[in-house]
Amino acid sequence: MKARIHVTLKNGVLDPQGKAVEHALGSLGFDGVEDVRQGKYIEINLSETDPAKAETQARDMCEKLLANTVIENYSVEIA
Amino acid sequence: MKAAVIVFPGSNCDRDLQVSLRIATGNEPLMVWHGDSSFDDVDLIAVPGGFSYGDYLRAGAMAAKSPVMREIIARANKGVPVLGICNGFQILTESGLLPGALMRNAALKYICKDIHLRVETNDTAFTRGYATGDVLRIPIAHHDGNYFADPDTLDELEQENRVAFRYTNAQGEQSADANPNGSQHHIAGILNKNRNVLGMMPHPERLADAALGGEDGKRMFEGLVRAIA
Amino acid sequence: MSEITADVIASHGFTDAEYAKVLEIMGREPNMTELGIFSVMWSEHCSYKSSKKWLKTLPTEAPWVICGPGENAGIIDIGDGQAAVFKMESHNHPSYIEPYQGAATGVGGILRDVFTMGARPVANLNALRFGSTDHPKTRHLVSGVVAGVGGYGNCVGVPTVGGECEFHASYNGNILVNAMTVGVADQDKIFYSAATGAGNPIVYVGSKTGRDGIHGATMASVEFSDDSEAKRPTVQVGDPFTEKLLIEACLELMQTDCIIGIQDMGAAGLTSSSFEMASKGGVGVELDLDKIPQREADMTAYEMMLSESQERMLMVLRPGTEARAEAIFKKWELDFSVCGELTDSGHMVLRHKGEIVADLPIDPLALASPEYDRPWVPTAKPPALDMASSPAPDDLMATLLAMMGSPALASKRWIWEQYDHMVMGDTLGHGRPGGDAALVRVHGSKKALAMTSDCTPRYCYADPVEGGRQAVAESWRNITATGATPLAITDNMNFGNPEKPEIMGQFVGCCQGISEACIALDYPVVSGNVSLYNETNGQGIHPTPTIGGVGLIEDAARSVGIGLTADDQDIVLIGESRGHLGCSLYLELIENRTDGAPPPVDLAAERKTGDFVRAQILAREISCCHDLSDGGLLVGLTEMALAGQRGVRIALPELSMPLHAWAFGEDQGRYLVATNDAPALLASAQSQGVDAVLIGKSGGSDIQISGVGTLPVDTIRQAHENWMPAYMA
């Protein structure tokens, strides 16, 4: 199974990289860009075949390493 | 007094810290490889700067999960002083020994320069060499030193007098200009509840020798040795 | 395997004569893998075919030279059984295509050249040249290159202590990224690349091999498989973390007696490293490509041999030491694979999936690489500037302010504060970036190395011979100004298309000038690199022979910086002033013209003046010192005031030239110094036939020139410090 994991900064945590991207998009002439948040995308191939178990495993990985839950949220998608 | 310096793959200030501790303690520090889950009893554990595991994923994240960290956490909880500088500070927050997180600098760039710090408390072995209110000149060299914690944690740090150093100008005044990385409350270094764990972004080991341009950092190591010995 | 057609041959860059030579050496038609190997070995980059003839004329010897050009880096004796190992190398084209990775991998490559020889890298420098500041690509390139240099150097933990940064329209389509590394080794632990001993194991260490940087033109014209997307040539990506591990693992292994020969895989990766090792050692090689650690599936022999994946090394070990070596690399979590052995066949034989996929004679291929005597025409000497055509500026102080805030002279702090210039704990306080030469203590000793990178391309363009002399002289002068003795240089020759006689003439002229200056100053060339074809739409860059210099001071405590250290010190100008404004920055910035001849370098006077200044520094008669170069006297003086955070009061001497020529003339061989005892200094100078004149005193907070004007140092500082952050914002 493939785990697709998105790690993003929590709301309320200032995201200076997102801000910079927002500014750059504005100066390139993209109007209406309001809130850019930058995050990470991680893909993991798992030998687990049960989707529920794979998701539990991936979430555990996020809690223990892939995300810093002081500042980051994560979401897991199993396919 | 015997100190240990922890070496992770990618640590690069380990030798600098070794030199400063050798001079301050008069003993050769024990260099501990990250894969070692046990090492001799020491009076101080120092986690150096650098780019452990390349700072890949997040600065300090992977080092914080290495075998040696379990041992360091156990010893810190028993009261052994633990000092984390720069990447060491990032590792200590990632490991949970210190609260909060170090985020990308507000200006997004790596920055290496001398900055000024105000000593906020000398009520810990780490800052015994200074008086509260002293202003020090010490270099920073980091990409991710922007201290973040939630409001409750910040209140707790302030109320318990656990902010050890704050970024200021040469006169000891806080200002946005004198905050090099956007840290909340201008925080440059913090203590744990028991005051035996200090994490700081600036590098005292880099200005501990007059030939290198200053000695403000040397007083930290000297004070630490006096306090522990 | 694809057929060898005329197109395939041409796309591999062979001339008809070269391909005929290939057929003669092989005695048959080569297969694709063999053709690819010939192609990279005979490329300009690896064979130096256009430049060899002239490089051979450079002086490379001195009693303190341990190893001159031809190895991975040059080596000089720095006493106490230690050696300095250094080289500068270009990564121009990759940095233009992908500035971050191009610059980063440039730093990685030059670091490997140095630690391959057994030296711990102790400092990096970089000479950067970008297009005009109003060119639309410049900001993006500056930002990416600086981040790349920093991203790599900061992570490996080697301080980036110096360099240069210049903007000029001639680099609009071809930026220059020249990276230099200086390392320190014990003389009895120096490693060379020669492989000896048939039967000895060949070992591959470091990162895995992928399809990075495989020659674009070749890939575009050769069909390898159906899956073209996956096989598209990719930009090389640097991994500084792996490089750091590789440094530590190699240096640890070098403490043992396991290694016979070692070579990093740079340009043309596995091909050039294995050929060089075998050719130098006079042996044959058999490689089993199935043993090469691979990052991607289904790589062909051609791809593996031509890959430019980073952070890889090839070693020949003493038989029986494999396990010991492997344990060290496993500890550092690096790939380690015995991938072949030396033979006495004189051939390189490659096996892949049980078949022999290439069989090439080593020496004919490595030693018979083409060497051209390309036609060249000398650059016409420009006429000297007619001084009557250069009117005095209305306001000298306003002119100074404008110059100090110009891109050419403005502070480059924005750049070097993104580089960790202090890690390793040996960068001296007054030897940090921004001075004449960086000063880095030899760890655990009183000694320090002084290092610098220099070139004035506008001089080289106007007069390549004089420009070549000046680049070397300025390097020598920058090192002298710290109190150190200049020992040797590395030259990074960046030029346009050598097939044009006028460009080749620039190359020949610069070589001649460099040669003359090296001989006169006892300052030999010990390593170097050539980058040609820096042209876009037929427009070549200014000839840019970047000189990386290294010097030594026995007692670092006696070295000085450029900043004024105290008030009320006498400021003395040493060296002769004639007010030479031809090709000066003043003309370019203020009068918007670039004509005239560059300032001549009187090499005998250069040496006499420099030796005098150095002796005075070592005798502690001088508290700070700055050599005069771009912008001349008044700019140099202002830089000393800025660095020392104090003013100066100048009493204008009797002038035999226009005031602005005195202020901004770029006469060579000059230094400004501060001293507590000007009479004594002037007397010693006079007794040794060195020109010296007292021009003023330190103190106050202004640049004050009697009868001319006053400008607060803080006002200049604002203009000087603000330009680059504002430009990059």
Give me the CATH number covering residue B101. Answer: 3.40.50.880
**Whole-number Å distance between alpha carbons of C258 and C240:** 25
Query: Given CB atoms, is B23 within the 8 Å cutoff of chain C?
Result: no
**A27-31, B145-149, B171-175, B201-205: which range is least confident on average?**
A27-31
Taking residues C312-320, report their average pLDDT.
Answer: 95
DSSP per-residue letters across C408-433: TTS--HHHHTTS--STTS-B-GGGST
Query: Given CB atoms, is A24 within the 8 Å cutoff of chain B?
Result: no
Of C12, C45, C626, C720, the catalytic one is C45
- pLDDT value of residue C234: 62
Taking residues C517-540, report their average pLDDT.
Answer: 94
pLDDT over 70 at C373, yes or no: yes
**Whole-number Å distance between alpha carbons of B208 and B216:** 6
Of C12, C91, C215, C580, the catalytic one is C91
Are the Cβ atoms of A65 and B61 closer than 8 angstroms? yes
Query: Given CB atoms, is B15 within the 8 Å cutoff of chain C?
Result: yes
Contacts of A65 in chain B (CB under 8 A): 57, 61-62, 65
- pLDDT value of residue A27: 78
**Considering CB atoms only, which of B111, B143, B205 is closest to C425?**
B205
Are the Cβ atoms of B12 and C419 closer than 8 angstroms? no
Contacts of A13 in chain B (CB under 8 A): 103, 148
- Residue B209 C-alpha, separation from nearest chain A C-alpha, in angstroms: 35
Are the Cβ atoms of A70 and B99 closer than 8 angstroms? yes
pLDDT over 50 at C66, yes or no: yes
Distance of CA C311 to the CA centre of its chain: 20
- Residue C424 C-alpha, separation from nearest chain B C-alpha, in angstroms: 6
**Considering CB atoms only, which of C156, C245, C423 is closest to B13?**
C423
Residue among B52, B53, B55, B57 with most chain A CBs within 10 A, to mutate: B57
- pLDDT value of residue A17: 82
Taking residues A27-46, report their average pLDDT.
Answer: 89
Residues B185-195: b if buried by 16+ CB within 10 A, e if exposed: bbbbbbbbeeb
* CATH assignment of the domain containing A56: 3.30.1280.10
Residue A14: domain span: 2-78
Are the Cβ atoms of B212 and C156 closer than 8 angstroms? no
pLDDT over 80 at C267, yes or no: no
**Catalytic residues of B, which ones?**
86, 203, 205
Taking residues B49-75, report their average pLDDT.
Answer: 94
Q: Say what percent of chain A tops pLDDT 90.
A: 56
**Whole-number Å distance between alpha carbons of C536 and C213:** 21
Residue B200: domain span: 3-228
pLDDT over 60 at C336, yes or no: yes
- Residue B225 C-alpha, separation from nearest chain A C-alpha, in angstroms: 33
Taking residues C699-719, report their average pLDDT.
Answer: 97
Contacts of B150 in chain A (CB under 8 A): 70
What pLDDT digit, counting tens, does each position of B64-112 carry? 998 899 999 999 999 999 999 999 999 999 999 999 999 999 999 999 9
Taking residues B130-159, report their average pLDDT.
Answer: 97
- Look at chain A and report how many structural domains it folds into: 1
Contacts of C184 in chain B (CB under 8 A): none
pLDDT over 70 at C638, yes or no: yes
Residue among C152, C207, C241, C251 with most chain B CBs within 10 A, to mutate: C241
Residue among B53, B69, B98, B104 with most chain A CBs within 10 A, to mutate: B104
- Residue A16 C-alpha, separation from nearest chain B C-alpha, in angstroms: 6
C507: which residues sit within 8 A by CB, 6+ positions away?
A: C50, C51, C54, C376, C464, C493, C495, C498, C532, C543
- Look at chain B and report how many structural domains it folds into: 1
Total beta-carbon pairs less than 8 A apart between chain A and chain B:
37
**B140-144, C346-350, C534-538: which is most confident:** B140-144
pLDDT over 70 at C231, yes or no: no
Interface predicted TM-score (ipTM): 0.97
Residue B133: pLDDT band (50, 70, 90) is very high
Residue among B11, B21, B110 with most chain C CBs within 10 A, to mutate: B110
Residue C230: pLDDT band (50, 70, 90) is very low
DSSP state of A71: T
- Cβ atoms of B45 and B74 closer than 8 Å: no
pLDDT over 80 at C3, yes or no: no
Which residue in C has a C-alpha nearest to residue B143's C-alpha? C418
Query: Given CB atoms, is B212 within the 8 Å cutoff of chain C?
Result: yes
- Cβ atoms of C670 and C601 closer than 8 Å: no
Chains sharing 3 or more CB pairs under 8 A with chain B: A, C
DSSP state of B97: S
- pLDDT value of residue C682: 98
**Whole-number Å distance between alpha carbons of A33 and A21:** 10
- Average pLDDT of the residues of chain C: 93
User: What is the sign, positive or negative, of the torsion defined by CA atoms of C622, C624, C630, C633?
Assistant: negative
Taking residues C110-136, report their average pLDDT.
Answer: 97
